[in-house]
Structure 1
């Protein structure tokens, strides 16, 4: 992967720009110069001396997909507690996760990020909230992995300070002291956050959930984040059990609880937000608070189906997230788009969500949640050169009339090319920045070692 990206012309593709007008070019082109898109249009592509020309015939070109919620360390703990609900699943997995260290996180993150790239993701978040006392630099490890794979990365410094002995869900062995959390969080922001317009790395602050953190941590974390100018993230309203926990302990719903603590606003986004009443949706709309919709994980854990259509219609910033690999073994952003459509329709009928809305949520919607919709999420001149070229002329998709429907409703399309910041990360279905076979072997070894350690 060259340090200085050149000029790339994708010609002859069906181009879905996902701009505000929903512009699509059945026979179109995109020109990338360096790390920026400089031209998008219909018809023959301009001839540019020295450019790499990519034949897009038989392909659909879209913005790169934006993943707004993940737990990369879980890539080496997939397939455990496969039939449990959220609280039982967490109870099973916390003792295993307590054994992670920087080496395990680096391996897990490399595998998870490579897999995301292989399926069209160019920007991903991560929410790492398990910080063992002797685990080393787990945040530096995942940041190193993101740089190696080549994805645009928004890691969140997660935390838990409410252990079981104080009425929380996690065992005391995996929680931290409040002062240590704040010091560690400030350190991560100071070392890694890059606010520049074309940043490949932005940090967020992310206490885990109402049942694993104290009100003091939520309040102090919000103050720290806003002082540093970074975003806030947490799990919220994922299950009925969580709602009951908040009603019993705080006398209010999860959204009301976080609103009391200042955890609403355009710099905040929640993961899941499955169990929301109309009042909660009105609060999110009025404050610009975002949501990461994770339909596959919510189904895997039996948590329910979020009111995605209602959130979208209300103007809530809404993106998609694969969630952690231990509750979504597939971790495929196209599958999230497909499930968003199918689950919305299962809930509300065939017109509840269109395939183009699903593509919007997977691209510009996610960029909006992360505060980057002026830079990412659509194919427009001046935006960063993050794009995905999908083959839709193979046996899986040939003959499907609408290319966007082929992508959103069909089998996962083969990825012909993935550009991130103008650089190729995937070519003809293979990640070119790492050796996939070596990474798979390292993941298997790390998985066995971690499970053995917990045993």
Structure 2
């Protein structure tokens, strides 16, 4: 049935950045069909009163590790490399049950913080773990989010000078075979796709040069995107200087990893020249301010990236380095971190909301379909209740969203389907999921000894 959202303040994030008070928006099927001027409405139209609310595009999460939802709170005071060394033995025990439970918890929580589209970077594949990517895809289907999982990989273990234990790495042949199978089975390139797959070797310090080179070739032959961590910390800079004699980006460029089909997570350590190169090649960056701060990895040069024209979106990153994982909070933190680095005008509230919406859509190659409230675009929308005591009296709805407390969600829709109503997610029982998450957490920690 068509759905009419009435009386809301519509923050379109369109090319003209229009903000439309008390403006109706009509959804029919999976698409937005009218804004403002309405056609004759059928009798069965569902009416949603948006009085006191702001309607925005659904938020787009460009970097996550859903399996980590069941390993939150560990290694809370460690550096990045110490944190990885502490957690890899626990992650080595994951299986389908743990991953599906973690994904249900993480995705439901993302939805409740305004996400309608999310990626996931899954790169830990124990030999006896089962179909881990399939488990999280099933969870995303259950929760109802638009999903861009990436088939990650590692082929450089401790014995080869890497950080991961031997039990979670694979051979290059195993990785390439799995990548081809995943794309053939799951990837949907259509305009209204709910499921697109990318290929994603983990990082320069956990994969070989050969794997990076061959994965880039494979992804382009298959027509899918490429993703990895890059320039996340000074430790990574030191590793690349020692092993490759160059910076992380110089290394990735040497193996074919720049272009409008590539996005990197973090990008804290890029130089001026590297930012120029990213912009020239339209290579994207997933800015993860909370995780970077949690691990003490520094502050991304967000303003410089945006000014140069680099595609930039926001990511919550893995739940083991960002226990809150609330996507709207990343817009808040992006403003604070940018201003802490560059002064009070370094990033506006509206620019932060753009990073969370159309910016993220651009990073994922979905800007033609989602990321703004426009006629013809997919109906991925969030109706935020700004009438609460935490928000009433803030005249600017964007300031209320980005600088204020995270508002309750009156309603949200993905592909035209309502998944949240009155602050409650409609697709899963969050109390049951919470109990399952606690059980899987205890099981994994005990299994690691």
TM-score by length of 1: 0.98
Match of 1:37 among 32, 39, 44: 32
**1:164-191 deviation per Cα after TM superposition (whole angstroms, max 9, x unaligned):** 1111121222211111111111111111
1: CA distance between counterparts of 2:113 and 2:290? 16
Structure-2 separation of matches of 1:107 and 1:269: 27
User: Does 1:141 find its partner at 2:161?
Assistant: no
Residue 239 (structure 2) pairs with residue 259 (structure 1): no
Q: Which runs of 4+ in 1 moved over 2 A?
A: 44-49
What CA deviation, in whole Å up to 9, does each residue of 1:129-152 have, x standing for no partner?
000000000010000000000000
Counterparts of 1:185 and 1:303 in 2: how far apart (Å)? 31
Matched, 1:11 2:6: yes
Distance 2:251 2:231 in 1: 11
Matched, 1:94 2:85: no
Aligned-residue CA RMSD (Å): 1.0
Aligned to 2:145: 151
Is the 8 Å Cα contact of residues 11 and 45 (structure 1) preserved in structure 2?
no
Per the TM alignment, residue 76 of structure 1 is displaced from its structure 2 partner at its CA by 0.2
**What's the CA shift for 1:41?**
2.4
Tell me how far apart the structure 2 counterparts of residues 94 and 69 of structure 1 sit (CA, whole Å): 19
Where does 1:218-229 land on structure 2 (aligned, <5 Å)? 218-229=212-223
- 1:337 maps onto 2:331 in alignment: yes
For 1:3, the equivalent position in structure 2 comes to: none
Does structure 1 residue 21 correspond to structure 2 residue 16? yes
**3-state secondary structure, aligned to 2:219:** helix
CA distance in 2, matches of 1:48, 1:57: 22
1:241 — aligned with what? Answer: 235
Q: Secondary structure at the match of 1:27?
A: coil
In 2, are the aligned partners of 1:335 and 1:412 still within 8 Å (CA)? yes
- Residue 200 of structure 1 aligns to a residue whose secondary structure is coil
Paired with 1:369 and 1:38, the residues of 2 have a C-alpha distance of 25
* C-alpha deviation, 1:118, in angstroms: 1.0
Deviation at 1:47, TM superposition (A): 4.8
Pairs within 5 Å for 1:371-450: 371-450=365-444
Are 1:29 and 1:45, in contact at CA under 8 Å, matched by a contact in 2? no
Structure 1, unaligned runs of 5 or more: 1-5
Q: Distance in 2 between matches of 1:427 and 1:397?
A: 19
2:276 aligned partner:
282
Alignment pair present for 1:202 and 2:202: no
List aligned pairs for 1:68-217, cutoff 5 A: 68-217=62-211
